[in-house]
Structure 1
């Protein structure tokens, strides 16, 4: 479910930037998705944004109530101290939404020093901050980018889909499943896959291509990341499912989620909205279900898509940010037809100044 804004934009001015320069920002799309979600909640007149390189001047000119910086804290030359001073000069709040926990948690001290309020993408990492206002805020999905209609009348050409970097844990699982997957029409894509994996190919996909592939697949593998950048202090394990979980749900594919923790059960209901696996044998059983009960597999995808639209869009996350920062919204629902009509549109309506 999506929401149309019903708030007086004169009372709220929100400015969105990144925690790193765009030149080294590995995931700038999250910022654009958050902007889209904020516009959905408070309207375009209340939201402005700019890259970090331009943020201080824009903050001083626009005098926003709330500044949200999104991303990673690893780069040392980011200029976040200057952003803090600019926000102080206009009497605003500075929030960080950190999107790389727990993999970069050794740099959490930067947020602890600079931010008024911290949002962590990971539930377990959120418990380890030394700060008076820390909240767990998972990443999400964008209806305008990831949503695809589920069409039971159209054939699905892919039995199993996955796309991602070949981290060691992913290679290990797919090596075990290689013989099985090679017997079926699969698309295992991404980068750095070793040549001995017959089921995998080194090919990158855009966000649109990812959504299209998932929409064409009966099953999509969800295998978490296993690569720490700076996580030596506490060696925190990942607790919260990554954004791909919500993106694939919007795209309309039933997910095979490789279980590493129980938090997945808080965001999707096992067997009803997602299938949990821990071995190639579970993948084989899921493929058999596709062959024996295709309608049941589609029903799981449909329920997951409804759940994602209701609970796991960036508009939902934006509403929580605004609520926790003392900027409540009032909204009314829009029909699903409106969402599908705009499912391939770029984020629009914000003020890039």
Structure 2
């Protein structure tokens, strides 16, 4: 299969979670014998922090604007499938072009589904519009559960499926490094996540000055009062993620408010940290138990007391959780699993598109 992807970024992991998601998924997709072309709008903030300029698993091409993107129409037309991602600049126009040009199925890959739906409710069509959703043969969503019915019934998607994030287990494994922190968090600043980070990491740090904490990620405001036992790292590139997680007794997962409301919206850090042997403490949302079993494979926390109770467990209990989580992730949440799922979805979407076209031809005849 030849797949053309129009995504936010593959080349830079700075300030976004899209790059690592695409890298894991497309590397595994290519391992299955498929050819991938990734088209990325060349933005200065990613150009300044580019950490994968020449991927070895696909072709990466940069374009400056929609006019340059049109130069790739022949590739889009000849592809077996096309996938447009969320937050692509000029995404509505790019989506229309893909839908009108491609002969194979055209998918929308939404790495931000609850945010997308909240934006559409407000009339914000930054990268997708309600009008073009029915024109996507497949809506691959980072969010599962009831949201899929919303996409099909309210917005007219002919085929909405959960395509969760995943982890490349070849890149994310335990690393022999000194244990530096009792609890760490890796994520770009988000205003709606910050109150939860305050409750589940900063307040526990204040109450337990003998423990060590870390928060890694860009764009945090300068006026945040970090406790003395919280180490700040501005950015950890993907190549350093395994060592970062391996240096943490536990990893904290904090979910954006829109995704908590929707449920069934796992963050990639659940799987990446778990694959590296760092057990996860997470905020609570519907559907998390379908992905990792609470108390056995993941710990759920609502308060500072919950976090401190978890950090106070003995090492045997910690290690049991770490082992159980890693086994589950290897069995169900690797990028190899997601590549197989994507392949099957694209084949199904292609068959449905052909059937619709044939039905339309019979009707017009």
Give the TM-score, by structure 2 length: 0.72
- In structure 2, C-alpha distance between the alignment counterparts of 1:189 and 1:60, rounded to whole Å: 42
* Structure with bigger RCO (C-alpha 8 Å, 6+ apart): 1
Are residue 309 (structure 1) and residue 330 (structure 2) matched? yes
Are residue 269 (structure 1) and residue 293 (structure 2) matched? yes
Instruction: Map 1:194-213 to 2 at 5 A.
Output: 194-198=223-227, 199-200=229-230, 201=232, 203-213=234-244
Instruction: Map 1:13-32 to 2 at 5 A.
Output: 13-18=2-7, 26=16, 27-32=18-23
Tell me the SS of whatever aligns to 1:298. Answer: helix
**Number of positions where the alignment pairs a residue of Structure 1 with one of Structure 2:** 298
Q: How far apart are residue 238 of structure 1 and its match?
A: 4.5
Contact 2:205 2:212 in 1 (8 A): no
Instruction: Map 1:233-252 to 2 at 5 A.
Output: 237-252=262-277
Q: How far apart are residue 102 of structure 1 and its match?
A: 0.6
Cross-structure match for 1:126: 148
Cross-structure match for 2:133: 112
Which of 168, 179, 183 is the matching residue for 1:156?
A: 179
Contact 2:96 2:132 in 1 (8 A): no
Cross-structure match for 2:83: 68
Instruction: Map 1:1-353 to 2 at 5 A.
Output: 12-18=1-7, 26=16, 27-40=18-31, 42-43=32-33, 46-52=34-40, 53=63, 57-58=71-72, 60-61=74-75, 63-72=78-87, 75=90, 78-87=93-102, 91-105=103-117, 106=120, 107=125, 109=130, 111-123=132-144, 124-129=146-151, 130=155, 131-145=157-171, 147-149=172-174, 156-164=179-187, 165=189, 167=191, 168-173=194-199, 174-190=201-217, 191-192=219-220, 194-198=223-227, 199-200=229-230, 201=232, 203-226=234-257, 237-259=262-284, 261-289=285-313, 293-326=314-347
Q: 1:109 to 1:327 in 2, by over 3 A?
A: closer
Contact 1:73 1:110 in 2 (8 A): no
Tell me the SS of whatever aligns to 1:97. Answer: strand
Q: 1:210 to 1:170 in 2, by over 3 A?
A: farther
- In structure 1, C-alpha distance between the alignment counterparts of 2:338 and 2:139, rounded to whole Å: 14
Give the TM-score, by structure 1 length: 0.74
- In structure 1, C-alpha distance between the alignment counterparts of 2:235 and 2:9, rounded to whole Å: 24
Q: How far apart are residue 295 of structure 1 and its match?
A: 2.4
- In structure 1, C-alpha distance between the alignment counterparts of 2:9 and 2:206, rounded to whole Å: 42
Between 280-289 and 162-171, report the one with greater CA deviation.
162-171
Q: 1:36 to 1:75 in 2, by over 3 A?
A: same
Contact 1:16 1:31 in 2 (8 A): no
Contact 1:148 1:251 in 2 (8 A): yes
Between 57-66 and 301-310, report the one with greater CA deviation.
57-66
Cross-structure match for 1:348: none
Q: How far apart are residue 236 of structure 1 and its match?
A: 5.3
- In structure 2, C-alpha distance between the alignment counterparts of 1:203 and 1:84, rounded to whole Å: 39
- In structure 2, C-alpha distance between the alignment counterparts of 1:216 and 1:306, rounded to whole Å: 20
Please list every run of 5 or more consecutive structure 1 residues that lacks an aligned counterpart in the other structure.
1-11, 329-353
Q: How far apart are residue 223 of structure 1 and its match?
A: 1.2
Q: Deviations over 1:240-262 (max 9, x none)?
A: 12111111111210111111x23
Q: Deviations over 1:124-155 (max 9, x none)?
A: 4323212221112211122243x12366xx75
Q: How far apart are residue 19 of structure 1 and its match?
A: 6.1
- In structure 1, C-alpha distance between the alignment counterparts of 2:15 and 2:134, rounded to whole Å: 22
Contact 1:37 1:313 in 2 (8 A): no
Contact 1:55 1:83 in 2 (8 A): no
Q: 1:19 to 1:312 in 2, by over 3 A?
A: same
Contact 2:3 2:82 in 1 (8 A): yes
Q: How far apart are residue 119 of structure 1 and its match?
A: 0.8
